[in-house]
Structure 1
Amino acid sequence: MNTIQGKYQQKAKTKKGSSIYLIASIIAVLLWSTSFVATKMAYASFSPLTLGAARFVIAAIILGIILLFKKNKAKPPIKDVALMSVSGILGTTIYFGLENIGVNLTTASIAAIIVASYPAITALIEFLFYKIKISWIKGLGIIIAMIGVFQISYNPQSQEGDQQLIGNIILIIAGFVFAFYNFTTRKLVNNYSMITLSFYQTVAGAITFIPVAFIEKSSWRMPSMGSFLMLLYLGVFCSVIAFLLYNFGLRKLSSSSAVTLMNLVPIFGVLFSVIILHEVVRISQVFGGVIVILGVVLSVRETTQRQIRSTGKGI
């Protein structure tokens, strides 16, 4: 009797422990889902490039403090630091510079859906540039995802049609930059902890972001309290805490579970955009979003745990 009761208690304890990892990952996804809305709200005082620079300066400081408390403080060799810097410039300065400009020109809900297509874009680039063979299902998924992106991006009847279209195109270009960031990061991800890797990437990205932000110097002004709080939210919660929670969850979650959770980002992103920003989402955009998610699910169905870890930078 005691043996049976002990096994039951152990099983319940294991289930509870696994739930903690799942909850941590879901919280991370929810935080990333709000980043598009927070970015839009921060634009009340900040210009896109200035917001990006300030956000990652904050993130770099926080990651540096966390790194100080780590036991293993071995400094990577110059060769790896250089590669981390390149990936940081790609994934922070260029990617988020483009994303912020794109979000400024289009709606937060459309941005959330387009960003959901990035895994499919990554798979497409792997096939075109790196000659990595893909299954017919994965190829079909890529095509479906691209059709979905076109469905939500092109709307000539919209009053803001030209501006939104430009914003959508910039976000799609950002997806290609994100893919090359992933390829660069994969060369390092197995050799360093994610905190160490992210610190060097974020520092390099923040340093190069600062001079870029000076392009907008003429539009600088004292931020409102609301915009400043959104900046802190993006830097602390979306760039650091969500990242740490997601990588904590990856310790126990399977690859398929992690990919499935990431597909919740556009769903919650659209939901928060409608509730908080009162954005109007067309039926065609909802339909396009469903197509994108379906395509992404098919295109990443063979993703390994290592590949998922290499893309866990945050939004």
Structure 2
Amino acid sequence: MSSASLSPQISKRQAYLGGLLLAIVGAIFFSGKAIVAKLMYRYHVDAVMVLTLRMLFSFPMFAAIAVWKARTEPALPLADYGRIVVLGLTGYYLSSFLDFLGLQYISAGLERLILFLTPSFVLLIAFAFFKRKVGWIEWSALLVSYFGTVLVLMHDLNGGGSNVVLGSLLVLGAAVSYAIYLISSGELVRRVGAIRLVAYAMCVSTVACVIQFFILRTPADLIQPAAVYQFSLFNAVFCTVLPVFLTMIAVARIGAPAAAQAGLVGPVSTLFLGAVLLDEPITGIQLTGTALVLCGIYLLSRKKV
């Protein structure tokens, strides 16, 4: 085979590997928000503060994209703007708030495992409300994933008691909320575009977070140590804006299924980052539970559609 005929194949392979790398880096950065939140909690801030500062620091970037899209693309019907508001409140505001609340009570590793069950919740909601058929491979994947999560949950219960239950339920609510967002946004994504939808929805979420903050807190509460602002800026740039667009670019290059499989690195990275940065222990039960969750989600991602 000539070098000329090999060249397109090599270029295609390089493009695929590049897209795969983007998806992996995006998954690691996105999973890092749990680590950053845990570090911020050491400064005696709560979930309301963590979420508000995260959204405030990320807002200028999403707002700039939203303005650019509004100027360069046709205006949307009024009904679509209403749907985007609902999706922004459900998928980003409510889900993120419940997630950060739960992180006050459970380990970053357990939080990531519960959130990683989101695809299975999408499947169950589709089965229960939209009468979608679920095959034995999918049921098996769900059972394996849930069993893995229960293993880690039971392990953490020994150290945290009722707080672990409360935190797990809050994060579970976050996962279900985001699953509802994913199901509801399917048609709108195709019509509006992923980047435009995310930018608009994140702006809606920011407004909701700011309103919530001033209902529950006072402006004086925004005065925090410099480290809190530094963590918030890192959370906004590297754990919110950057992974969103890295994942979008990866999906465009290698497709959603491959990008989803690359995202399997998320719970693993959180587990080890938690050990290094938060001194969270890694036990055999945690590794086994994590492996089971990853196997279950991998089975779901491999199913032909």
Say if 1:303 and 1:87 are closer, same or farther in 2 by CA, change over 3 A.
farther
Give the alignment's Cα RMSD to 1 decimal: 2.2
Query: Identity over aligned residues, as a percent?
Result: 18
Q: Which amino acid aligns with 1:196?
A: R
Report the more deviating stretch, 44-53 or 211-220: 211-220
Say if 1:99 and 1:303 are closer, same or farther in 2 by CA, change over 3 A.
farther
**Which string of whole-angstrom CA distances, capped at 9 and with x for unpartnered residues, describes residues 82-122 of structure 1?**
00110100011110110000011111111112111111122
User: Contact 1:88/1:202 (CA < 8 Å) preserved in 2?
Assistant: yes
Q: Report what 1:264 is aligned to.
A: 265
1:29 aligns with 2:27: yes
Q: Report what 1:53 is aligned to.
A: 52
Say if 1:157 and 1:250 are closer, same or farther in 2 by CA, change over 3 A.
closer
Could you list the runs of 5+ residues in structure 1 that have no partner in the other structure?
305-315
TM-superposed deviation, 1:153:
1.6
User: What is the alpha-carbon distance in structure 2 between the residues aligned to residue 156 and residue 34 of structure 1?
Assistant: 20
After TM superposition, the structure 1 = structure 2 runs for residues 38-49 of structure 1, keeping only pairs within 5 Å, are 38-43=36-41, 44-49=43-48
User: What is the alpha-carbon distance in structure 2 between the residues aligned to residue 298 and residue 15 of structure 1?
Assistant: 24
User: Contact 1:140/1:299 (CA < 8 Å) preserved in 2?
Assistant: no
Q: Which amino acid aligns with 2:166?
A: I
User: What is the alpha-carbon distance in structure 2 between the residues aligned to residue 234 and residue 254 of structure 1?
Assistant: 26
User: What is the alpha-carbon distance in structure 2 between the residues aligned to residue 63 and residue 89 of structure 1?
Assistant: 16
Q: Which amino acid aligns with 2:179?
A: A
Q: Report what 1:108 is aligned to.
A: 108
User: What is the alpha-carbon distance in structure 1 between the residues aligned to residue 267 and residue 256 of structure 2?
Assistant: 19
User: Contact 1:117/1:293 (CA < 8 Å) preserved in 2?
Assistant: no
User: What is the alpha-carbon distance in structure 2 between the residues aligned to residue 181 and residue 303 of structure 1?
Assistant: 23
Say if 1:256 and 1:186 are closer, same or farther in 2 by CA, change over 3 A.
closer
Q: Report what 1:234 is aligned to.
A: 235
The two structures have a TM-score, normalised by structure 1, of 0.88
User: What is the alpha-carbon distance in structure 2 between the residues aligned to residue 269 and residue 303 of structure 1?
Assistant: 29
Q: Which amino acid aligns with 2:116?
A: A
Report the more deviating stretch, 16-25 or 148-157: 148-157
User: What is the alpha-carbon distance in structure 1 between the residues aligned to residue 7 and residue 180 of structure 2?
Assistant: 47
User: Contact 1:109/1:281 (CA < 8 Å) preserved in 2?
Assistant: no
User: What is the alpha-carbon distance in structure 1 between the residues aligned to residue 44 and residue 232 of structure 2?
Assistant: 10
Report the more deviating stretch, 93-102 or 155-164: 155-164
User: Contact 1:35/1:234 (CA < 8 Å) preserved in 2?
Assistant: yes
Could you list the runs of 5+ residues in structure 2 that have no partner in the other structure?
none
Q: Report what 2:161 is aligned to.
A: 161
TM-superposed deviation, 1:264:
0.9
Q: Report what 2:278 is aligned to.
A: 277
Q: Report what 1:15 is aligned to.
A: 13
Say if 1:149 and 1:276 are closer, same or farther in 2 by CA, change over 3 A.
same
User: What is the alpha-carbon distance in structure 2 between the residues aligned to residue 292 and residue 18 of structure 1?
Assistant: 26
Q: Which amino acid aligns with 1:263?
A: L
User: Contact 2:65/2:196 (CA < 8 Å) preserved in 1?
Assistant: no
Report the more deviating stretch, 9-18 or 169-178: 9-18
After TM superposition, the structure 1 = structure 2 runs for residues 122-137 of structure 1, keeping only pairs within 5 Å, are 122-137=122-137
Q: Report what 1:184 is aligned to.
A: 184
- Which aligned segments of 4 or more residues in structure 1 are displaced greater than 6 angstroms? none
TM-superposed deviation, 1:78:
1.0
Q: Which amino acid aligns with 2:10?
A: A
TM-superposed deviation, 1:73:
3.4
User: Contact 1:124/1:142 (CA < 8 Å) preserved in 2?
Assistant: no
Report the more deviating stretch, 22-31 or 239-248: 22-31
User: Contact 2:92/2:178 (CA < 8 Å) preserved in 1?
Assistant: no
TM-superposed deviation, 1:68:
3.9
Q: Report what 1:94 is aligned to.
A: 94
User: What is the alpha-carbon distance in structure 2 between the residues aligned to residue 99 and residue 157 of structure 1?
Assistant: 18
TM-superposed deviation, 1:157:
5.8
**Which string of whole-angstrom CA distances, capped at 9 and with x for unpartnered residues, describes residues 32-78 of structure 1?**
12111011112225320222122123323211213444572333111
Q: Which amino acid aligns with 1:8?
A: L
TM-superposed deviation, 1:22:
1.9
The two structures have a TM-score, normalised by structure 2, of 0.91
Structure number with the higher helix fraction is: 2
